[in-house]
Amino acid sequence: MRSARVHRHGSPDEVVVEDVAPAPLNGSAQARVRVHAAAVNFPDVLVMAGKYQVSVPVPYTPGCEFAGVVTAAAPDGSGPAVGDAVIGLVTHGAFAEEIVIDSARLTRIPAGLGWHRAAAFGVTYTTAYHALRTVAGVSPGEWVVVLGAAGGVGLAAVDVARAMGARVLAAAGGEDRLELCRAKGAEACVDYRTEDLKTRIRELTGDRAAVVVDPVGGPYSEPALRALTPGGRFVVVGFAAGEIPRIPLNLVLLKGVTIAGVENRTILERMPEVAPAHRAEVLRMLVDGRIDPHVAAVYPLEKVADGLRDVAERRAAGKIIIEMAP
């Protein structure tokens, strides 16, 4: 089968596509899936560079989410059956024509959902949903500020917050990206490359910004925190800007805000009582049409490095899809 492979850690230039032998089923709970589409996420770039929280030894196949069809079901009958359309989440291995995976990591989906949309929602939308519902407890009518709002998690947070009845202020760089946020339901927008973020958040929300979702970090975190209303919630999702901010804790004390973090990889481990239910809820939102992932570009497997570069260089507005089969 064809598979993207990383033989040494580094940039997307290190990725090659080559033929590899299909992996055997090891264990009674494993299934084999024919991958139709996979999505690129920022952690894929970090794993490749050797900068992620979890180290993956080389050689390996990158990619952490996919959509496809089960071709060999788990022998113990614990998961989807042969022929079922599924989505799956892994640490790595998705950018290949086939993948062997524990059936517990697979979720059945309606066959007519579409491979691109199915592959594009798992990581970013569950992360956004956990940030907004599980951690921030967003209520209808509250103002939610989303930083990096045109990126993968950012645009998902705009979409989910709108579907939850919140009022959304999207912060991103460039009018084209802000226009995409408006199309997803953002009521107000700030171009943080040209506008004062703290001042504009206060002006546009009437000093009522209740929640900040921050997948970016860098120079934008502190101004957004300063713009929160007293008692607000600040949710840390990631540091796509490449810089981990240092927040003066006196701000947290004086404003009485709550700062919490969300990491999709550990949600199942730390919140086993809510994670499956919330994943099912966000899937229902997708099936019902209340949310709709924006696919920025689709690349064939042979051009997987181009898709990874789009994400690494923050050129993508929305999700990048790697297509293994139509």
Mean pLDDT score across all residues of the chain: 92
Question: Which architecture characterizes domain 2-113+294-323 according to CATH?
Answer: Alpha-Beta Complex (3.90)
pLDDT of 280 over the 90 cut: no
Domain 2-113+294-323 identical in fold to domain 124-266: no
For residues 49 and 12, is the Cβ–Cβ distance under 8 A? no
- pLDDT value of residue 55: 86
- pTM confidence score: 0.90
**pLDDT (average), residues 80-93:** 93
124-266 maps to CATH 3.40.50.720:
yes
Instruction: Determine the Cα–Cα distance for residues 239 and 233; give it in Å rounded to an integer.
Output: 18
Number of neighbouring beta carbons within 10 Å of residue 261 = 13
Candidates 293, 211, 271, 214; CA nearest to 247 is 214
30-34, 48-52, 130-134, 289-293: least confidently modelled range: 48-52
Q: Residue 229's pLDDT is what?
A: 97
pLDDT at position 128: 95
Domain parsing of the chain, residue ranges: 2-113+294-323, 124-266
**pLDDT value of residue 325:** 67
Joined together, the tokens standing for residue 116 give 């691109």
pLDDT value at 164 more than 90: yes
**In the prediction, which pLDDT does 183 show?**
94
Query: Which is higher by pLDDT, 53 or 147?
Result: 147
Asked if the model's pLDDT at residue 34 lies above 80, the reply is yes
The arrangement of strands across the sheet holding 188-191 comes to 188-191, 167-172, 143-147, 209-214, 233-236, 258-261
